[in-house]
Each structure stands twice: as C-alpha cells, then as structure tokens.
Chain A
Amino acid sequence: MYSNPSSSFMPEEDLLYTILADLKRTVGEYTTATTESSCPAVRQMFTDLTNSTLKMQGELYTLMSQLNMYSTASPALRQEVQKQLQQSQQSQQKLQHFVQQKLGQSAHHAVPQHLVQGQAAQHQPPSVYM
C-alpha cells in the first residue's frame, strides 16, 4: 500500500487550492462566454453564472484564509504606491489633454466631472478589499 486508506490522496489544503483555482478558471470562461453571447437570454444566463461563481470563489478564499491555508501577498510599500499614484495621475492629465484636443474646449464630456476631478476621493482606502 502506498498510503493509509483513511487518508486522502492529497493534503486537504492542496485539494481546496485546486478547487479555488478551478473556480477562478471557470469565472474567466463564464466571462468570456458572456461577452461572446448573441442571444440576450444566453448572455443573461452567463452573467448570472459568472456572478454566482465569483461569489463562491470569494467565499472559499475567505474560508481558506481564515483557516490559514492561503497566504496573501505582502503589502506594497508606501513609496511604491506613491510612485505609481504619481505616474497614474500624470497619465490621467495627459489623457484629459488628449481628449480636450480631440473634442475641443466646449466638448460635452461623457465622464462626470466628479470622477475626473475627484482625486481626493481616490486617496481614501476602499471599505472592502480582498
């Protein structure tokens, strides 16, 4: 015998990780299927199945995290976060100039002003983050 009959063929942690990985893959496939659906009923079905599978993946991740079966990546350093923020803000400004050049000064911007100018709000940490 290679193993004790009462033990599973893989550690529980590995089995759950495999399920989690397959849930992630399945969410991706449901998303792709949604974007490529032609029939409205089929698209709605794939949308619902995407959301349901995503919810399950999140619940399993939370459980594994609580059982110390999933180690999250270490947090990014503040210096790196600030650097990326600065670069992204510069990109956003360049983008705004580009759009203004293309649409003219009196352009009817589709993007609400509070989203364009609400950079202060972006500094707030999200209330829920996984």
Chain B
Amino acid sequence: MVYDIFTEGDALMQHYGSQMKPLTGKELEYIVDCISNEDLLVKQSAATAASTSNPAVAQALTHMIHVHEQHMGILLNTIQQHVQLAPTQPTSSQS
C-alpha cells in the first residue's frame, strides 16, 4: 500500500536503536495526545462510513480507518519500546 513506511516500523527502531533515548515527559504527553486524536478520527470515520450511501466516500473512509489504526499501533509501539529505557527513579535533567 501507499503507507508502506509503517510496515517498516521495526526496521526504523533498529536503525535508531543506538540513538534511542528515554522519553521525556513532554514526548510522552504528545504521544498520548496523538493516540487520543487517532482514536477520535477512527470513531468519526467509522460513524460517517456507516451512515453514507456514497460508495466512494465509504471506500475512502474505510481506508482512512485502516491508516489511523496503523498510526495508533505505531504510537503504542513507541511507548512500549521505551519502557525499558525509562528510569525507575526521578533523575535531574541533562542539558
């Protein structure tokens, strides 16, 4: 498909694996906010797809639902991959 970058998520993480740093509080908040956005977009797209009588609109929305679900998977995967890097005790920030 067009969005083949997302099938390479693991390769991306391997590529940047050596450069991966613990998530900052801000990064974590952005990721969580973005998951919330994707969640809303899936629901909106699904509700609209269920009510439309236009096949072209239904097809476009079905595709969009698929992509948003992929986005959500990538965001969740990123949090998961940073769990082990996260400190268990508060640390002072580095400049």
- A contacts, CB < 8 Å to B: 7-8, 12, 15-16, 18-19, 22-23, 25-26, 29-30, 32-33, 36-42, 44-46, 48-49, 52-53, 55-56, 59-60, 63, 67
Task: Count B interface residues, CB 8 Å.
Answer: 43
Q: Are B57 and A16 in contact (CB under 8 A)?
A: yes
Q: Are A45 and B37 in contact (CB under 8 A)?
A: no
A19 to B27, CA, bound (A): 25
A59 to B3, CA, bound (A): 13
Dominant SS at the A interface? helix
Highest count of chain A CB atoms <10 Å: which of B2, B51, B52, B75? B51
User: Contacts A37-B27, A40-B16, A52-B67; is A22 near B21 (CB within 8 Å)?
Assistant: no
Q: Mark B16-60, 1 if CB is under 8 A from A, else 0.
A: 110111111011001101100110110011011001101011001
- B38, chain A: closest CB distance, angstroms: 8
Q: Are B57 and A40 in contact (CB under 8 A)?
A: no
Highest count of chain B CB atoms <10 Å: which of A25, A39, A44, A46? A39
Q: Are B5 and A40 in contact (CB under 8 A)?
A: no
List of 8 A-B pairs having minimum Cβ-Cβ separation, nearest first: A8-B51, A41-B16, A33-B30, A15-B48, A40-B19, A39-B21, A26-B37, A41-B20
Query: What residues on B are CB-neighbors of A44 within 8 Å?
Result: 12, 16
